[in-house]
């Protein structure tokens, strides 16, 4: 074994890798320990169906990565990462046979919404115009001294609303459905407070810089971060599950330990060393609804009725705004809806390297109750068939992943909750507990850096970066 590292990062998801890169960039020697055989956590790509067809196992579409102040400060292009943009970022098909569309700019999106475009423009204009300020203010802890108070307050007055209040403001069917689909990423009932926040941010990001995918698959994001880490002298070890801090003695006595885990797992790893109040908060962490995922190999792609869907990187399948809100309510009452909200990604449209000849990978997941143990395959395919009749006949292979498989694949996704925690308003605002120092675990030198910390789920690396910054501040390293 080489000399003992200054810092050990447990888990190699995008936040673990971002933490490692930040620490290594500040001059610390860093080792990342990953329980799986491959790195990347939620950013992995595999041939799940047909040889040569590349499926993103978890994350697929990356508006938050291009919006991330940290990731965009890194020259990841030099480490093999290339973003690819579809012609249409998001399409939302309706039973009329038309589709509402979010394009890569506010002007294009508003123009496509016809008479309703002016309301859309009024809602998103202030957010898109100052998006970089907005990203700095929102992609971190809620409790902070704002650098751009006006931009933050413009966002805040909209963000505290329920998503359904925003769909009511938008009134017309197409913009309301378009926003409901984007807002439904929160995977929480849309009439609850603050559920507008993630949707506003995702829509603003999309109209600022689009919703791209990584050329060759999401694994390239982890690959680029790992390559950057190696260039800074950092090391990665796979196949190492860390169950307790004592095990880290094998890596010397690191000055810094970063945990890219869920809060309850962090409590188990820290054991008696964690103060009782923090332990209680971590053990009381609430997990949210699940995802039931299908990876499809589709000959010729999906035959969507609405033409923009055939050019879209992401298609939100769920119909009108009210129907999506009802499906989300059902999920949170523990019932699997017969017509669930389904997110579909067609990465091959902007990145043909994912396909094998005319067989294309299609990524889809439905929101499902926490820990759902049924089979949602039929419900997902039924929803796709509703807007793309004839789809079933084109599927040459299919892989399904329910909540139990998702948790077995990655213990951060308890009960199939891919956000590592419910997006209820207390957890949206104060994660993982109410404190001015959300990355501290109360154990000296040990920090939580996963998506359970601010700013939350998604591939942006901000949780890891900010947790590492906190560790460096406490070590007085600039
Ligand atoms: C199906 C699905 C679809 C998604 N779609 C998108 C999307 O399109 N866009 C987007 O931005 N986000 C998406 N996400 C969310 C995104 O992937 C996550 O929010 C993000 O990966 C969280 O990063 P993280 O570093 O906090 O944790 P993770 O990526 O979950 O990584 C945690 C890592 O830590 C490892 N680990 C955990 N415990 C231990 C231990 N005790 N010892 C050693 N290693 C350990 C795990 O094996 C894992 O590799 C999706 C997630 C899923 C599952």
Which residue is listed with tokens 């035959």?
A: 303
Instruction: State the helix-helix crossing angle for 149-159 and 131-138, rounded to 10 degrees.
Output: 70
Q: How far is the CA of 153 from the centre of ligand 1 (A)?
A: 31
Report the nearest-CA residue for atom 18 of ligand 1.
458
- Dig out the tokens for 348 from the structure: 């091959």
For residue 222, the CA-to-ligand 1 centroid distance in Å is 11
Q: What spacing in Å lies between the alpha carbon of 412 and ligand 1's midpoint?
A: 7
Question: 39 CA distance to ligand 1 centroid (A)?
Answer: 10
CA of residue 460 relative to chain centroid, distance: 8
Residues in CB range of 12: below 8 A, 6 or more apart: 20, 32, 33, 34, 39, 40, 41, 222, 226, 236, 238, 260
Using CA positions, which residue lies closest to atom 27 of ligand 1? 13
**Among residues 53, 92, 10, 42, which one has the least CA distance to residue 291?**
42
Per-residue exposure over 163-185, b if at least 16 CB sit within 10 Å of its own CB, e if not: bbbbbebbebbbbbbbbbbbbbb
Pocket test for ligand 1, best of 8, 9, 13, 181 (most atoms within 8 A of CB): 13
Q: How far apart are CA 122 and CA 154, in angstroms?
A: 12
Would you tell me which CATH number, out of the four given (3.50.50.60, 3.30.1330.60, 2.60.120.1440, 3.30.590.10), belongs to the domain 7-81+214-286+415-474?
3.50.50.60
Q: Are strands 395-401 and 359-368 parallel, antiparallel or unpaired?
A: unpaired
Which residue lies with its CA nearest to atom 1 of ligand 1? 58
Dist. CA 307 → ligand 1 center (Å): 33
* Pocket around ligand 1 at a 6 A CB cut-off: 10-16, 33-36, 41-43, 58-62, 64, 241-242, 260-261, 265, 291, 293, 365, 410-413, 418, 450-451, 457-459, 463
Rounded to whole angstroms, what are the CA distances from 175 to 91, 104, 120, 204, 351? 11, 15, 7, 14, 28
- Alpha-carbon distance of 323 to 95, in angstroms, equals 12
Atom from ligand 1 closest to the CA of residue 15: 25
CA of 251 to the centre of ligand 1 (A): 24
User: What are the C-alpha distances in Å from 7 to residues 61, 211, 230?
Assistant: 31, 34, 14
Taking the C-alpha atoms of residue 202 and residue 127, their distance in angstroms, rounded to an integer, is 11
Cβ–Cβ under 8 Å, residues 303 and 282: no
Give the residue whose CA is nearest to atom 50 of ligand 1.
59
Return d(Cα 442, Cα 10) in angstroms, integer.
Answer: 17
Cα 390 to Cα 92: distance, rounded to the nearest angstrom: 18
| pLDDT given at position 347 | 98
Cα 406 versus chain centre, distance: 15
- Determine the distance separating the centroid of ligand 1 and the alpha carbon of 42, expressed in angstroms: 3
Beta-sheet strand order (sheet of 312-317): 99-102, 88-93, 312-317, 342-345, 359-368, 290-299, 395-401
- Sequence-separated (6 or more) residues with CB below 8 Å from residue 250: none
- Listed by start position, the domains of the chain span 7-81+214-286+415-474
Please state the atom number of ligand 1 nearest to the C-alpha of residue 63. Answer: 11
Please list the pLDDT of the chain residue by residue as tens digits (478 residues): 467 899 999 999 999 999 999 999 999 999 999 999 999 999 999 999 999 999 999 999 999 999 999 999 999 999 999 999 999 999 999 999 999 999 989 999 999 999 999 999 999 999 999 999 999 999 999 889 999 999 999 999 999 999 999 999 999 999 999 999 999 999 999 999 999 999 999 999 999 999 999 999 999 999 999 999 999 999 999 999 999 999 998 888 899 999 999 999 999 999 999 999 999 999 999 999 999 999 999 999 999 999 999 999 999 999 999 999 999 999 999 999 999 999 999 999 999 999 999 999 999 999 999 999 999 999 999 999 999 999 999 999 999 999 999 999 999 999 999 999 999 999 988 999 999 999 999 999 999 999 999 999 999 999 999 999 999 999 998 7
Judged by phi (left if over 0) then psi (alpha if -120 to 50, else beta), residue 97 lies in: left
pLDDT at position 167? 97
Asked if 14 contacts 225 with a C-beta cutoff of 8 angstroms, the reply is yes
- Distance from the alpha carbon of residue 43 to the mean position of ligand 1, in angstroms: 7
Residue-level pLDDT at 147:
93
Q: Quick check: 24 and 229 in contact, CB under 8 A?
A: yes
Q: Is the pTM of this model over 0.95?
A: yes
Q: In angstroms, what is the span from residue 11 Cα to ligand 1's centroid?
A: 9
Nearest residue (by CA) to ligand 1, atom 2, is: 58
CB-based burial, 357-385: b 16+ in 10 Å, e otherwise: eebbbbbbbbbbbbbbeeebeebbbbbbb
The answer to whether 7 and 29 have CB atoms below 8 angstroms apart is yes
């Amino acid at each position: 074994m080489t000399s003992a590292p200054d810092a050990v990062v447990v888990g190699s998801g995008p936040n673990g890798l971002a933490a490692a890169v930040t620490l290594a960039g500040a001059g610390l020697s860093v080792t990342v320990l990953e329980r799986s055989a491959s790195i990347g956590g939620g950013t992995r790509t595999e041939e799940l169906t047909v040889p040569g067809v590349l499926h993103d196992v978890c994350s697929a579409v990356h508006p938050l990565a291009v919006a991330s102040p940290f990731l965009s400060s890194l020259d990841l292009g030099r480490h093999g990462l290339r973003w690819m943009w579809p012609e249409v970022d998001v399409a939302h098909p309706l039973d009329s046979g038309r589709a509402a569309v979010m394009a890569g700019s506010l002007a294009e999106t508003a123009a496509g919404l016809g008479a309703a475009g002016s309301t859309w423009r009024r809602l998103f204009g202030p957010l898109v115009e100052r998006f970089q300020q907005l990203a700095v203010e929102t992609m971190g802890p809620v409790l902070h001294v704002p650098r751009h108070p006006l931009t933050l307050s413009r966002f805040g007055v909209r963000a505290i609303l329920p998503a359904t209040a925003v769909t009511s403001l938008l009134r017309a069917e197409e913009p309301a459905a378009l926003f409901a689909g984007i807002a439904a990423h929160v995977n929480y009932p849309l009439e609850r407070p603050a559920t507008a926040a993630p949707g506003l941010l995702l829509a603003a990001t999309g109209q600022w810089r689009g919703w791209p995918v990584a050329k060759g698959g999401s694994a390239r994001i982890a690959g680029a971060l790992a390559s950057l880490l190696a260039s800074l002298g950092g090391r990665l070890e796979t196949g190492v599950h860390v169950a307790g801090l004592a095990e880290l003695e094998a890596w010397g006595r690191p000055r810094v330990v970063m945990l890219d885990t869920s809060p309850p797992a962090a409590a188990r790893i820290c054991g008696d060393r964690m103060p009782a109040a923090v332990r209680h908060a971590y053990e009381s962490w609430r997990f949210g609804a699940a995802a039931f995922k299908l990876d499809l190999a589709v000959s010729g792609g999906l035959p969507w009725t609405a033409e923009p869907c055939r050019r879209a990187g992401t298609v939100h399948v769920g119909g009108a705004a009210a129907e999506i809100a009802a499906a989300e309510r059902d999920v949170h009452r523990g019932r699997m809806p017969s017509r669930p909200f389904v997110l579909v990604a067609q990465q091959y449209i902007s990145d043909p390297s994912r396909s094998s000849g005319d067989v294309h990978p299609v990524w889809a997941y439905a929101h499902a109750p926490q820990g759902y143990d049924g089979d949602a395959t039929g419900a997902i395919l039924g929803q796709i068939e509703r807007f793309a009749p004839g789809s079933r006949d084109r599927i040459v292979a299919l892989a399904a992943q329910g909540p139990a498989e998702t948790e077995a694949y990655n213990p951060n996704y308890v009960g199939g909750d891919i956000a590592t925690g419910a997006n209820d308003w207390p957890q949206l605002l104060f994660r993982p507990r109410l404190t001015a120092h959300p990355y501290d675990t109360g154990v000296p030198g040990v920090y939580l850096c996963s998506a359970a910390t601010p700013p939350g789920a998604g591939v942006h690396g901000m949780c890891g970066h900010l947790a590492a910054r906190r560790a460096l501040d406490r070590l007085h390293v600039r």
